[in-house]
Amino acid sequence: MPFANRIEAGRRLAQALIRYARDRVVVLALPRGGVPVAAEVASALPAPLDLVLVRKIGYPRQPELAMGAVVDGADPIIVRNEDVIRITGVSEAEFDEVCKQELAEIERRRSRYLGSRAPIELLGRTAIVIDDGLATGATMRAALRALRKRSPAKIVLAVPVAPSETIDAMRGEADDIVCLEAFDFFGAIGAYYSDFRQVSDDELIDALARHGEPAATPAEKREG
């Protein structure tokens, strides 16, 4: 078993990312499971922690099967899994309806998790994007494409565990990839954790509160 829990995974991931400690880093987590992992990285570097709100677009008759993924924003990023769309024969109207539902869920989560808190500025900074693991990578791919539009200097994808083929497929989406454990034959992400209990909303909100963007000093404000 590679990891006892998400906290241990985050501490090990932080060690692998320590070379970025001198960069102007923002750590971004995919909720919910990515947040405890990312919080350990944010503590170690140290860096502020923010969320990337992304939702899988599931096939209506088998919601775990990803037809794509969507990320919120003024211009939402939608990544389509054309193979699944073709095989299932889902119509454009069905796809659009599920997409609309997931955007509504993203907005609900934004209100619950972030309230009126503005996104942390990424321009010219190193964005380290973290989840507790990857499977197909559809949601992470959508997240990375959305973040690229915010003009970070560098995007680093960091996960504790993933299939080897997914990591290979993601190389064009990030400037660097850190994956602690990659497997040719991959099961569910939870199979690689002894404790994979669901992360509560309260845990997530507390982690964000502990790792906010520090207030600018008077000198920094003058420079800005």
Question: Domain containing 10 — which CATH number?
Answer: 3.40.50.2020
Distance CA 113, CA 109 (A): 6
**Residue 222 falls within a domain, yes or no?**
no
Q: What angle do CA 40, 109, 203 make, to 5 degrees?
A: 35
Segments forming the whole domain that contains residue 99: 6-211
Distance CA 89, CA 83 (A): 10
Count of domains forming the chain: 1
**Residue 183 falls within a domain, yes or no?**
yes
Over residues 7-22, the mean pLDDT reads: 98
Phi, psi of 78 (to 5 degrees): -120, 125
**Residue 33 falls within a domain, yes or no?**
yes
**Residue 47 falls within a domain, yes or no?**
yes
Q: What angle do CA 214, 175, 1 make, to 5 degrees?
A: 85
Question: What is residue 77's predicted lDDT score, i.e. its pLDDT?
Answer: 85
Q: What is the tens place of the pLDDT at every residue in 82-117?
A: 999 999 999 999 999 999 999 999 999 989 999 888
Output the average pLDDT for the chain.
91
**Residue 220 falls within a domain, yes or no?**
no
Over residues 196-220, the mean pLDDT reads: 79
Q: What is the tens place of the pLDDT at every residue in 127-151?
A: 999 999 998 888 899 999 999 999 9
CB contact at 8 A, 139 and 154: no
**Residue 36 falls within a domain, yes or no?**
yes
Is the pLDDT at 215 greater than 80? The verdict is no
Distance CA 128, CA 36 (A): 14
**Residue 217 falls within a domain, yes or no?**
no
**Residue 12 falls within a domain, yes or no?**
yes
